[in-house]
Amino acid sequence: MLNLSETFWFAQKAVLYPTAPLYNAEKKELTPECIRALIRIFRICDTDNDGYLSDRELEAFQTRCFSIPLTAQSLHDVKQLVKQSCPGGVTVNGLTQKGFLFLHLMFIQKGRHETTWTVLRRFGYSNHMRLSEQFIYPKFCIASGCSTEISPVGIQFLNALFNKYDLDRDGCLSTAELSELLATCPEDQLNHVTDMSLYVATNSMGWATRQGFMAFWMLTAYLEPNRLLEYFAYLGFTYYESGSLWPSVVNGDYNHYDSVTLTGNKQTNTNMSSVIHKTSGLTGSQLLASHRSDLSKASGSMTVANEALLRAIIITNDRRIDAIRRSTQRTVFYCRVYGARKVGKVSIIVGVFMFCIKLLE
């Protein structure tokens, strides 16, 4: 009976946590798809964009993925292991991208590929190593007369994103900085954003200003809310919304994170240190029950992330209700200006825009 339970456990593990998408057994290395996904996760978790995961960033990552804090001893053990086995994997600044990839390679080689799958699924990945459609296309309904706008937390996220990649602090995103910002998005999704500077406020170099950057996404939210949510999923909004260190970047605070509270429910005893050693001492039935629990958590985390993504937008009241009340809470309005060429249409729009800005000051 014991062998039967273990057989079921291994069979279920093979289905829930397939090795092939993660690891090339012949070459004994991570697959290109897995590397690409983990690099994207590393970039999102590197909230100060310095190329390293600091102790605080690793703690936030641990809490986000496994819902328990990373103890100082566990953090020390992980870093020591990487330092001993992966030259260049750890520096005084933190865990490097090379070290991050090595950790997951080690987990898989020790038979703990469910750890890597837990991380991937927390960030929306399916068994095909792509962000699942359930994750990037959450369902919502916009009633007639209503419109969509970016929520306050969505605005905070965009400001944090701008601060993170505006490396020279000039208030604009250069071509190189914008490319870095979009590095977590698939290449076939970039055309919509890379042309941003053609129709938003720019500096003399043609680089999008913060005002232009925000206006671009506000327009996208109004006209194509599904596209906005898709980009927010790729850019890491759900990690920001979960209570990671990102809020510190909103105000340009890249060095101090003491005021940030990390969130997460204690649902599992997994952490990056404990998964270094293969599970032992459990019976087959206990292992089977453990993986049933893991499946439930994986499904639950996808649902939570799906709901979190919807917090990036708000749906306004019906415009007819606003007309009756003679007031509105909308901040984005869609206007069409008709006229012959060179009669001053752009001047009218700019004038109205500047008038609205003065009203808000």
User: Per-residue pLDDT averaged across 91-115, rounded?
Assistant: 93
Q: Residue 201 corresponds to which tokens in the numbers above?
A: 């406020």
209 and 84 part of one domain: no
- Tens of pLDDT, residues 230-253: 999 999 999 988 765 555 554 444
Q: Say yes or no to pLDDT of 98 above 90.
A: yes
176 and 323 part of one domain: yes
- Structural domain of 152: 134-245+297-360
- Tens of pLDDT, residues 161-194: 999 999 999 999 998 999 999 999 988 777 778 7
CA 12 to chain centre: 29
Domain-embedded: residue 121: yes
Report the C-alpha gap between 250 and 326 in whole angstroms.
Answer: 34
Report the C-alpha gap between 132 and 122 in whole angstroms.
Answer: 11
37 and 118 part of one domain: yes
Q: Say yes or no to pLDDT of 158 above 70.
A: yes
47 and 165 part of one domain: no
74 and 118 part of one domain: yes
176 and 319 part of one domain: yes
Candidate from 285-289, 320-324, 327-331 with smallest mean pLDDT:
285-289
Residue 283, number of CB atoms within 10 A of its CB = 13
343 and 241 part of one domain: yes
Report the C-alpha gap between 63 and 67 in whole angstroms.
Answer: 4
Domain boundary residue among 68, 96, 130?
130
174 and 311 part of one domain: yes
87 and 197 part of one domain: no
Instruction: Say if residues 123 and 44 touch (Cβ distance below 8 Å).
Output: yes
* Reported pTM: 0.77
Report the C-alpha gap between 181 and 44 in whole angstroms.
Answer: 10
Largest interatomic CA distance in the chain: 86
User: Per-residue pLDDT averaged across 153-162, rounded?
Assistant: 94
Mean pLDDT over the full length of the chain: 80
35 and 112 part of one domain: yes
Q: Residue 170 corresponds to which tokens in the numbers above?
A: 């000039």
Q: Say yes or no to pLDDT of 334 above 60.
A: yes
Report the C-alpha gap between 318 and 332 in whole angstroms.
Answer: 14
Rounded CA Rg of the chain: 23
